[in-house]
Chain A
Amino acid sequence: MTEVSLSYAVADPPATTAPALWWDYLALLKPRVMSLVVFTGLTGLVCADTPMNPILAAVAVLCIAVGAGASGALNMAYDQDIDAIMRRTRGRPVAAGRIGRGDAAAFGFVLAGFSVMLMGLAVNYLAAALLLFTIVFYALVYTVWLKRSTPQNIVIGGASGALPPVIGWAAATGHTPLNAWLLFAIIFLWTPPHFWALALNSGGDYEKAGVPMMPVVKGAKFTRLQILLYTLVLAPVAVLPAFTGLGGVAYFAVSVAGGAGFLFLAARLWRSQAGEAALPGPDGLYSVKPGAKQGRDLFAYSILYLSALFAALLIEHSVKAFS
């Protein structure tokens, strides 16, 4: 009988074959994730409608970016074993063996320390404390604990990705009103449908790596239902800023139209067979992944949706500031 191991402990650190180039260290910061963090953090800062020295505002955004990058480096240092197993992550510098785990961890700790210290000294201590909390939550609570222990990993862990606009708001004003937490709620509720839409088509990889993602533990059908339910909550919550004074007419239009589109795609995904076992193709020579397109479409749309919401807020408040 063939024994299939689900343990992630079997992946030994790969032998270093190529020297680490400086942009490998840049890749440790997860630049694509960082760009979204910078965008939402900047939106939070601008939405506060509080005049701030532009140099200090730029430093605040830089600290948020570097703090997010530090989280990414610490994540890659710890997750080398499972990253090396999954197709999506095996090219990462630590997983591929170009950078050692210790080097990546040291890089992450140094950047985390510098970003939090600079935020505290240059901007304010509340923003620094929130940044520190975000880094610790992502690196320790999500990466070390939740990711390998529960299918709710990305739901709870999503809090760290939702905090940047709150940090931006705190940087501008020194406090965090309800509207700042409304931005947090939007990203927090957006994360599960966004991530699970991707995970539906990568379930096999997560299973091999021993990561208890929702499609692996509860199955594809349950995950598709969860995606739909989260979207049903997200769409109306995302419209709320239009009624709290945070968003204007443009935001209202974007959030209603965008939410309707998100709901349509989530319902289409729910009705599909996304995440189910691959079927033989018409000629029996290849396998067809059912629902793969619906999953990819929702994943891509979710990025567009969140970007559009925050862009609408950013533009509205920037226009207000300059008029």
Chain B
Amino acid sequence: MSDPFHEGPAAAKARKMRSVMIAVALVAFVVIVFVVTIVKIAANIGHGAG
């Protein structure tokens, strides 16, 4: 396992897992914003058509 900060295997593994969870959270945020945008646009189109 890469250990660029010479922090030991346990700390390196913990840091990697934290990085993975940050990535998951950011992807989830992007997906939420995308879905919310689609929902809002669809609602506005619906209002416009009505």
A residues apposed to B, CB below 8 Å: 18-22, 25, 53, 55-56, 59, 62, 114, 118, 121-122
Identify 29 residue pairs between A and B in the complex whose beta-carbon atoms are under 8 Å apart, listed by A's number.
A19-B7, A19-B11, A19-B14, A19-B15, A20-B14, A20-B18, A21-B14, A21-B17, A21-B18, A22-B14, A22-B18, A22-B20, A22-B21, A25-B18, A25-B21, A53-B39, A53-B43, A55-B35, A55-B36, A56-B36, A56-B39, A59-B32, A59-B36, A114-B29, A118-B33, A118-B36, A121-B36, A122-B32, A122-B40
Chain B contacts with A in 1-50, Cβ cutoff 8 A: 7, 10-11, 14-15, 17-18, 20-21, 29, 32-33, 35-36, 39-40, 43
Q: How far is the CB of A29 from chain B (nearest CB, A)?
A: 12
State A122–B41 Cα separation when bound (angstroms): 11
Task: Report whether over half of chain B's contact residues are helix, strand or loop; otherwise say mixed.
Answer: helix
State A118–B30 Cα separation when bound (angstroms): 11
Q: How far is the CB of B28 from chain A (nearest CB, A)?
A: 10
State A114–B14 Cα separation when bound (angstroms): 25
Q: How far is the CB of B41 from chain A (nearest CB, A)?
A: 12
Residues in chain B near residue A122, CB distance under 8 A: 32, 36, 40
Residues in chain B near residue A18, CB distance under 8 A: 10
State A248–B20 Cα separation when bound (angstroms): 47
Contact B39 A55 (CB under 8 A): yes
State A118–B18 Cα separation when bound (angstroms): 23
State A20–B17 Cα separation when bound (angstroms): 10
Residues in chain A near residue B40, CB distance under 8 A: 122
> What 4 pairs between A and B have smallest CB-CB spacing?
A19-B14, A19-B11, A22-B21, A122-B36
